[in-house]
Amino acid sequence: MKKLLVFALAVLAMVGRVRADEGMWLPMFVERLNYVDMQKMGLQLTPEELYSINHSSLKDAIVGLGSTPRPTGFFCTGEIVSEHGLLFTNHHCGYGAVQKLSSMEHDYLHDGFWAKDYSEEIPAPEMTASFLIRMEDVTKDILGVVTDDMDWEARNVAIAAKIKELQNAASEDGKYNPVIKGFFEGNEYYMFVYQVYTDVRLVGVANESIGKFGGDTDNWMWPRHTGDFSIFRVYADKDGNPADYSADNVPLTPKHHLPISLDGVKQDDFTMIWGFPGSTERYMSSYGIDYNVETFYPIIIDIFGKQLEVMEEFQKADPAINLMYADSHASLANTWKNFIGQCQMLRKNKVSEAKVRLENNYKKWVSEDANRKAEYGEALPNLMKAYEELGHISKFIYYPNFVAQAGPAGVAMAFMPYYNAMEKKDKDMAEMVLAQLNEIDFNEMFAETDPQVEHKTFAEMLKLYRNAFNEDELPEFYSKVIDKKFKGDIDAFADYVYENSVFATPESIKAFLAKPSKKKMDKDYAFMVASQMVSILKENRQAYAEAQTAVQENDHIFVKGLREYYAATQPGKSLYPDANSTMRMSYGSVKDYMPADAVHYDYVCTANGILEKYIPGDYEFDAPKRLLELIERKDYGVYADENGELIVCFLSTNDITGGNSGSPIMNGKGELIGLAFDGNWEAMSGDVNFEPKLQRTINVDIRYVLFIIDKYAGATNLINELDIRKSEPQPLREETEN
Ligand code: ARG
């Protein structure tokens, strides 16, 4: 016994030294950068089994979910889990598609949906699945077109042309969708060659009271009891090639699918997550952080907060409006809460201060050498200036932009090209624009929104704008129209617009298109709001764009210097590039955390928490009766853990961000143990700086997913299709002499 124990301690000590957690790594470099670490932590696969361009490998089961046939980025990740192209992703990733397929008669968001066989699966036209065929380093080709005499703009033009050329060459006449992206702020370039499947069908989704249990109150937080998964299937033509929807298409036979493990998780178990993280800012300067916290995030929080308030008022009152705005509401609420969390946690975790310390060391290193001073000396001061400019100008960009999009002002914007053509007396242009406007189905366009919601949003955005600016900064219509003609009453003004504007209803638009005139637009208050907001945008656009360009250019120089600085001062450190919607691998382990002094958060939560949180009839914490009964009876079947409890979600230290949603979390054998779906509140600053002590990924346990499919929904057809594994329980081994 003793001998074994000593050995076990030695292994633990070794494991303890390995610290991966942070980093979203490119799978192509796994062997060189990560493999040794991963193996020490518990990985049992070979590098070839993880990423290979010659044989099938784990990467072939990971798909990027896009909304177009040739996506350059992905809103979520999915994984293939059967030899018939079955795909798991998050509930919140399938949400938009499920909303679009729903109606008041068939409200799949509310009621759930389970196809009993292939014939019942429903095409989700706005969802595509991209498989990565290969990736390659094209830095030399791309940066080869840059010459010393090019300024930043000329450089970007030359790079864009080269990117297009290489992408075209790799597409093999449209067979593939090659995408080239810049890494480390344009200091490296890689090409990703995808095969994009456009026939993706909805197979199964639980009621949103399971899939979104806890709603926005629990969003971005632990403990979490959300069954955040949905199920789709990828279809192909008879030869396995991508094809648009056709009744003749067949389920895709994938190169690889993930087996599923029922073994569950224990503290410190090895975990890896593969997927398509969207964007991080790990190399952002302190100036960028300060600008976000002080200016940019507060503006967006202000605007989105108000928009959400209006939506919610009407959504809670009317189920049809609730369904209509479900997806817009969820994504606004998600970003809104994220920005609030980032403001709080960037401050609390003192991220800007940490960056200042790094920048001071870096500046010292730069100043020690004349060449370095010449190349890198100006980048940080330039960044400071550029962000200062953005700090002044941003409100003149974001507020007008959102007001100009609100309600009838937003519709009027579509008619601005006609107005401009008429003003220039360009008859041909005006005709052309009118022809395009006549193509638009305004009935359909208006059917996607509710007039009450749009009306109130329009009024509230105008009020918000008035609050955000000084009187002398307001566009003219506030004093000349709202104050003079409506005694400053913005609601009365909005009512008037809705009764009288050309752009308030499809009927009035059609009447206008039958007899279009510039004069009518001159007198139209919705158009007046839109055009005066656009004037403000135009006045500030150039300065804003210049500051943004200065940020990009100087970030490029700063990060180039920073990489040199790290190489010189910390030669053992491997750097990973910021997330940019390309395939990444992150590895870590199952782990609890302490969110505050004296508070300990366990790394798993159980179905008992659903009973605790349950509020009958509530917008966020209602739950289906059948689920509650199963939990009361602890009727969990093979999905229970060793104590007879049902684990719902668990935590791991993997480094992920938005876009990773739906990603598989796997054990050392590459078996699926859950789906990653969120980050935690205390580390909302994590996109800018990884917080090892606090930062966790929230995963839905695969046993809860299977329990819902099997015991709750009775979709045994799907269970039978999966490759489910359970290891033999390991007997406690006595040490034997032989
Ligand atoms: N926070 C999750 C993510 O960004 C999305 C959760 C969506 N749920 C919601 N209640 N809006 O991946």
DSSP 296-352: IHHHHHHHHHHHHHHHHHHHHH-HHHHHHTHHHHHHHHHHHHHHHHHHHHHHHTTHH
Sequence-ordered alpha helix ranges (H) in 524-672: 525-569, 608-613, 625-632
Q: How far apart are CA 279 and CA 129, in angstroms?
A: 20
Q: Is 658 in the pocket of ligand 1 (CB under 6 A)?
A: yes
Confidence bin at 2 (pLDDT 50/70/90): very low
CA of 61 to the centre of ligand 1 (A): 24
Confidence bin at 731 (pLDDT 50/70/90): low
Contact criterion met (CB below 8 Å) for 539 and 532 = no
For 216, residues 6+ apart whose C-beta sits below 8 A from its C-beta are 330, 333, 334, 337, 620
Whether residue 547 is contained in a domain is answered as no
What pLDDT is stored for residue 5 in this prediction? 42
Catalytic residue among 394, 661, 663, 685: 661
Locate 176 and state its tokens.
Answer: 């593939």
Total domain count, the chain: 2
Q: Which of 519, 541, 563 is the last residue of a domain?
A: 541
Whether residue 3 is contained in a domain is answered as no
What pLDDT is stored for residue 6 in this prediction? 43
Q: Do 342 and 456 lie in a common domain?
A: yes
From 219, 279, 621, mutation site for ligand 1 pocket: most ligand atoms within 8 A of C-beta: 219
From 228, 311, 677, mutation site for ligand 1 pocket: most ligand atoms within 8 A of C-beta: 677
Whether residue 554 is contained in a domain is answered as no
Per residue in 39-80, pLDDT tens?
Answer: 999 999 999 999 999 999 999 999 999 999 999 999 999 999
Whether residue 471 is contained in a domain is answered as yes
Mean pLDDT over 154-179 rounds to 97
CA of 260 to the centre of ligand 1 (A): 24
**DSSP codes, 430-463:** HHHHHHHHHHS-HHHHHHTS-HHHHHHHHHHHHH
pLDDT of residue 572 exceeding 90: no
Structure-token match 């109130």, residue found: 456
User: Residue 315's closest CA among 327, 303, 307, 325?
Assistant: 325
Computed over every residue of the chain, the mean pLDDT equals 95
Structure-token match 């069908």, residue found: 201
Per residue in 180-226, pLDDT tens?
Answer: 999 999 999 999 999 999 999 999 999 999 999 999 999 999 999 99
Q: Determine phi and psi for 518, rounding to 5 degrees.
A: -70, -35
Q: Do 514 and 657 lie in a common domain?
A: no
Whether residue 463 is contained in a domain is answered as yes
CA of 259 to the centre of ligand 1 (A): 26
Q: Do 522 and 454 lie in a common domain?
A: yes
Q: Do 123 and 70 lie in a common domain?
A: yes
Q: Do 116 and 204 lie in a common domain?
A: yes
Q: Do 693 and 732 lie in a common domain?
A: yes
Per residue in 647-698, pLDDT tens?
Answer: 999 999 999 999 999 999 999 999 999 999 999 999 999 999 999 999 999 9
Per residue in 511-562, pLDDT tens?
Answer: 999 999 999 999 999 999 999 999 999 999 999 999 999 999 999 999 999 9
What pLDDT is stored for residue 18 in this prediction? 46
Quote the domain boundaries for residue 608: 20-139+173-278+579-738
How many Cα atoms within 13 Å fall on the side-chain side of residue 226?
A: 29
Q: How far apart are CA 5 and CA 9, in angstroms?
A: 6
Q: Which of 486, 521, 541 is the last residue of a domain?
A: 541
Residue whose CA is at the smallest distance from ligand 1 atom 4: 658
In order of 156, 493, 656, the CA distances from 182 in angstroms are 11, 48, 19
Contact criterion met (CB below 8 Å) for 465 and 403 = yes
Contact criterion met (CB below 8 Å) for 171 and 177 = yes
Q: Which amino acid is at 245?
A: Y
Mean pLDDT over 499-510 rounds to 96
pLDDT of residue 435 exceeding 70: yes
Residue whose CA is at the smallest distance from ligand 1 atom 11: 330
Mean pLDDT over 377-401 rounds to 98
Whether residue 145 is contained in a domain is answered as no
pLDDT of residue 11 exceeding 50: no
Q: How far apart are CA 60 and CA 703, in angstroms?
A: 23
What pLDDT is stored for residue 9 in this prediction? 42
Total-model pTM: 0.94
Q: Are strands 724-725 and 260-261 parallel, antiparallel or unpaired?
A: parallel
Contact criterion met (CB below 8 Å) for 561 and 375 = yes
pLDDT of residue 279 exceeding 90: yes
Q: Which of 541, 561, 594 is the last residue of a domain?
A: 541
CA of residue 585 relative to chain centroid, distance? 16
Q: Do 71 and 119 lie in a common domain?
A: yes
pLDDT of residue 352 exceeding 50: yes
Confidence bin at 13 (pLDDT 50/70/90): very low
Q: Do 292 and 260 lie in a common domain?
A: no
Q: Is 81 in the pocket of ligand 1 (CB under 6 A)?
A: no
Mean pLDDT over 359-366 rounds to 98
Q: Do 244 and 380 lie in a common domain?
A: no
pLDDT of residue 14 exceeding 50: no
Q: How far apart are CA 322 and CA 329, in angstroms?
A: 9
Mean pLDDT over 443-472 rounds to 96
Q: Domain containing 600 — which CATH number?
A: 2.40.10.120
Q: Do 248 and 336 lie in a common domain?
A: no
Q: Output the CA angle 326-300-312, nearest 5 degrees.
A: 30
Q: Lowest-pLDDT range, 3-12, 307-316, 472-481, 630-639?
A: 3-12
pLDDT of residue 266 exceeding 90: yes
92 flagged as catalytic: yes
pLDDT of residue 12 exceeding 50: no
Catalytic residue among 199, 216, 228, 302: 228
pLDDT of residue 20 exceeding 90: no
What pLDDT is stored for residue 113 in this prediction? 98
Q: Do 224 and 324 lie in a common domain?
A: no
Q: Do 533 and 619 lie in a common domain?
A: no
For 114, residues 6+ apart whose C-beta sits below 8 A from its C-beta are 203, 204, 205, 713, 714, 715
Q: Which amino acid is at 35?
A: Y
Q: How far apart are CA 194 and CA 191, in angstroms?
A: 10
CA of 220 to the centre of ligand 1 (A): 7
Whether residue 359 is contained in a domain is answered as no
In order of 612, 623, 646, 703, the CA distances from 632 in angstroms are 11, 13, 11, 17
CA of 333 to the centre of ligand 1 (A): 8
Whether residue 485 is contained in a domain is answered as yes
Percent of the chain with pLDDT over 70: 96
Q: How far apart are CA 653 and CA 693, in angstroms?
A: 9
Q: Is 278 in the pocket of ligand 1 (CB under 6 A)?
A: no
Contact criterion met (CB below 8 Å) for 94 and 167 = no
